[in-house]
């Protein structure tokens, strides 16, 4: 995961407190993805303007909705 990458996630927020090297109290908010959570890589800002290639249809695509 790098800066600028787009992701979709499901999880919970967790706030941590600690004391830094000069004695100041610091806080950070983290996203925690549990075992039932979701993390999906969507792309990057550079990919946003590009069209995604579409899958080529297969022979049976026309009949998939016929039940």
Q: What share of the chain is helix, strand, coil (3-state, %, to 5)?
A: 10, 45, 50
How does pLDDT run across 9-61, given as a tens digit for each residue?
Answer: 999 999 999 999 999 999 999 989 988 888 899 977 666 556 555 555 555 55
Q: Is the pLDDT of residue 64 over 80?
A: no
Instruction: Give burial (CB, 10 Å; 0-12/13-18/19+) of 11.
Output: middle
pLDDT at 42: 92
Tokens 């800066």 belong to 3
Q: Specify which residues 6 forms β-bridges with.
A: 43
**Residue that the structure tokens 């706030």 belong to:** 15
Rg (CA), the chain: 21
pLDDT at 3: 85
Rounded to an integer, what distance in angstroms lies between the CA atom of residue 18 and that of residue 56? 53
Give the per-residue pLDDT at 43: 79
Q: Just give the CATH number of 1-43.
A: 2.40.50.140
At residue 62, the pLDDT reads 52
């Amino acid at each position: 995961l790098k800066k600028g990458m787009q992701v979709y996630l499901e999880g919970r927020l967790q706030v941590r407190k600690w004391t830094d090297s000069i004695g100041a109290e610091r806080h950070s908010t983290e996203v925690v993805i549990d075992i039932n959570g979701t993390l999906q890589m969507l792309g990057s800002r550079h990919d946003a303007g590009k069209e995604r290639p579409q899958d080529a249809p297969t022979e049976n695509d026309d009949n998939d909705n016929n039940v």
